[in-house]
Chains A and B, each alone.
Chain A
Amino acid sequence: MILFERVSKRYPNGREALTNVSFRIESGEMVFLTGRSGAGKSTVLKLVALLERPTRGTVTVNGKSTGALKARHIPAFRRQLGVVFQDHKLLADRPIFDNVALPLVVAGAPLKEIDRRARAALDQVGLLGKERMLPAELSVGEQQRVGIARAVVSKPPLIIADEPTGNLDPDLSLEVMRLFRRFSDVGVTVLVATHDQHIVRELAKREIVLASGEIQGQGDGGALPHVVATR
């Protein structure tokens, strides 16, 4: 589903965010991307979501190499992908329903289907009944779940999340992560960048550890104690 082959990324300001990174994530897998701030987690996600292109190497997502993708094909590419942000990037002036429905509206789904699927997505994150409220009327945890509902509403085969629990207390964090695990259980590929070691251990999924733009280690179930030591 995601394949990085000797990927390097240098930003225009000269900072080398990733150096020679290679890894593979299979379809239906749930993987944590960990490491300190600035280790390159966000850059990996940006490369997957085609917010950036690799300087060297190839990134293949869903069978498509992102380096060669023409600008006019990017929208269709992004529709195959659900993205969750730490700051959830909701539209503050639109009700919850409109926020969740946006990917379907953009894709040109029929109104009936938009209504049905947006409700289904809100139901999945336990927010059915709040669709007419504005984002600011919800708690931080609820807002994050709205962001997740938006990411899954069009049933993409791949979901990526950048520090989705960054602003949440431990209980809420675990709840959100279990939500991700449920999607992965039904065959969705999930890639989550986090520095919450507690959660990584709790969910016992594969972990890719980044440090200074390089892969420091990979392992299952958060069995990489040195990461904790370096924090």
Chain B
Amino acid sequence: MSPAIFGTRHLQALLGSLGRLKRNAVATLLTLLVIGLALALPAALGLFITNAQSATGGFSQAIDMSVYLKSDVPLAKARQLAADARQRAGIAQVTVIAADEGLEQFRRYSGFGAALDALKSNPLPNVLHVVPRRDASSEAQLQLLRGYFAAWPEVDVVQLDTDWVLRFNAILAVLRRLVLIAAALLGAGVLAVVGNTIRLEILNRRAEIEVTKLVGGTNAFVRRPFLYTGLLYGVGGAALAWVILEIALLVLDQPVATLAQLYGSRYALQGPSGQVLGALFGGGMVLGWLGAWISAHRHLRSIEPRA
């Protein structure tokens, strides 16, 4: 068979499936709605996580450590310790905040300027501000790093004030897992919906299938229109899911803007990225096709012509 005929046959099967879906518009729409909702839910959850992450800005990555040296450790020694620390793996940045510098910052930002002037000497120690590398920021690694600094005789206190960041990241990790679970369950639902719809259609077209097989139609030929139907269900469901997402975003836009304003932010909701849309349509097509294939494989074999 030449490629042109091959292409023509596929085009015919595709157009035939499209025409059939159009003729049963109401049933088609209901099926699409179910598939669309099933695809929209995990996509919406994913979108929520992305937005939560970018709305909180760099906070989730803002893991750092303040290493307070004992007050009798001189600045030169602090610089030397900082240089040592920079050699260690897993550390992105070490900044020395000299005691004077620290006092100056405190005076500027705290509003206790006058009170501080009353002090005879600077009560602040020299401090090393340590930023661990992104890929070395797990709880265990941070604890290890804290131990490393705490073991130095020059160190007074290591303050790792990042519990909430870790918690926030843990919550996001739970949510991401939830998205996976929801996607898996609802994906199975889409498979079942498409599979059942295709099964009914196969039963409806039993006579046609019998005659087609009788005149020498192969299983592949008989199956093809059903696979295209499944594929179209997937694409249509994904498109509907996209519409649902955009409507949800539109509805949420105003209250989110108000909320952001109250926090002094100009944050606006982010719509689905190209990647998310790709996953939505890709997932829809794969699920639709697969559901149709499973159903066709199961049910077409049993239909043989009778005389």
User: Which residues of A pack against B, CB within 8 Å?
Assistant: 42, 45-46, 49, 51, 72, 75-79, 83, 85, 89-91, 102-103, 105-111, 150, 162
Verify B5–A91 contact, CB threshold 8 A.
no
Contact B307 A108, beta carbon cutoff 8 Å: no
Q: Are B216 and A49 in contact (CB under 8 A)?
A: no
**A110 to B4 Cα, complex, angstroms:** 9
* Residue B306 at the chain A interface, CB threshold 8 Å: yes
**For the complex, is B258 an interface residue (Cβ under 8 Å from A)?**
no
Report the separation of the CA atoms of residues A216 and B45 in the bound assembly, to the nearest whole angstrom: 77
**Cβ contacts under 8 Å, A107 to chain B:** 216
Cβ of B279 within 8 Å of any chain A Cβ, yes or no, is: no
Partner of B216, one of A42, A90, A103: A103
Complex interface: chain A residues within 8 A of B57 (CB): none
Partner of A42, one of B9, B207, B307: B307
B307 x A46 contact (CB < 8 A): yes
**Nearest 6 Cβ contacts at the A-B interface:** A79-B216, A103-B215, A78-B216, A106-B217, A75-B218, A108-B1
A/B interface sample: 11 pairs, CB < 8 A: A51-B305, A75-B217, A75-B221, A79-B216, A83-B215, A89-B207, A103-B215, A106-B215, A106-B221, A107-B216, A108-B9
* Chain B residue with Cβ nearest A94: B208
Given A91-B207, A91-B208, A75-B307 contact (CB < 8 Å): no
The answer, among B8, B211, B218, for a CB contact under 8 Å with A89, is: B211
Q: Tell me the smallest distance from the CB of A59 to a CB of chain B, in Å.
A: 15
Closest to A45 in B: B307
Whether B86 is near chain A, meaning CB under 8 Å from some CB there, is no
C-alpha gap A79/B213 in the complex (Å): 10
Residues of A near B207 (CB, < 8 A) are 89, 91
CA A171 to CA B9, docked complex, whole Å: 41
Number of interface residues of B (CB under 8 A): 24
Chain A residues with Cβ below 8 Å from B215 are 78-79, 83, 102-103, 106, 150
Q: Which listed residue (A76, A89, A108) contacts B214, Cβ 8 A?
A: A89
A45 partner residues in chain B, CB cutoff 8 A: 307
Please report the C-alpha to C-alpha distance between residue A91 and residue B208 in the assembled complex, in whole angstroms.
6
* Min CB gap B216→A, angstroms: 4
The answer to whether B253 has its CB under 8 Å from any CB of chain A is no
| Residue pair A49, B307 in contact (C-beta under 8 Å) | yes
B212 within 8 A of A: yes
Question: Within B1-27, which residues are at the interface with A (CB < 8 Å)?
Answer: 1-2, 4-6, 8-9, 12
Identify A102's interface contact among B8, B9, B212, CB under 8 A. B212
Q: Chain A residues with Cβ under 8 A from B306's Cβ?
A: 51
Instruction: Determine whether the beta carbon of A49 is less than 8 Å from that of B211.
Output: no
Whether A102 and B307, one on each chain, are in contact in the complex, defined by CB atoms closer than 8 angstroms, is no
Contact A76 B216 (CB under 8 A): yes
Query: When the two chains form their complex, are residues A51 and B5 in contact, meaning their CB atoms are under 8 A apart?
Result: no
The yes or no answer to B304 lying at the interface (CB within 8 A) is: yes
Q: Could you tell me the distance in whole angstroms from the C-beta of B218 to the nearest C-beta in chain A?
A: 4
Using Cβ atoms and an 8 Å threshold, which residues of chain B touch A78? 213-216
Report the minimum CB–CB distance from B193 to chain A (whole Å): 25
Minimum C-beta distance from A188 to chain B (A): 16
**Contact bitstring B153-184, A, C-beta under 8 A = 1, else 0:** 00000000000000000000000000000000
Contacts of B9 in A (CB 8 A): 105, 108
Per the bound structure, the CA–CA distance linking A85 and B4 in Å amounts to: 34
Chain B residues near A79 (CB, 8 Å)? 215-216
Assembled-state Cα–Cα distance A83/B207 (Å): 15
